[in-house]
């Protein structure tokens, strides 16, 4: 069986990209669904998570 080497820069880029896309989705969902509270703070937290490694 072959050994798989994971590059930490690639993993960091992928996780931050997914978090940024998720934050955009949360912001847009929160704007369309006004009866659900808390999406803005969750989206902000996810956006800050995506900016953390930079």
Q: Is residue 16 part of a domain?
A: yes
Q: Which residue has tokens 């969750």? A: 42
Q: Is residue 20 part of a domain?
A: yes
Per-residue pLDDT at 1:
67
**Against a cut of 0.85, is the pTM above it?**
no
Summarize pLDDT for 8-48 with one digit per residue, the tens. Answer: 888 888 889 999 999 999 899 888 887 878 888 888 999 99
Q: Is residue 24 part of a domain?
A: yes
Of 7, 42, 10, whose CA–CA distance to 24 is shortest?
42
With the C-alpha atoms ordered 35, 36, 39, 41, is the resulting torsion angle positive or negative?
A: positive
Domain that holds residue 25: 9-51
- What is the number of domains present in the chain? 1
Per-residue pLDDT at 21:
93
């Amino acid at each position: 069986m072959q050994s798989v080497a994971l590059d930490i820069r690639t993993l960091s880029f992928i996780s931050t990209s997914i978090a940024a896309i998720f934050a955009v989705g949360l912001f847009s969902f929160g704007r369309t669904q006004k009866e659900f509270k808390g999406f803005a703070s969750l989206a902000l937290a996810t956006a800050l998570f995506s900016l953390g490694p930079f």
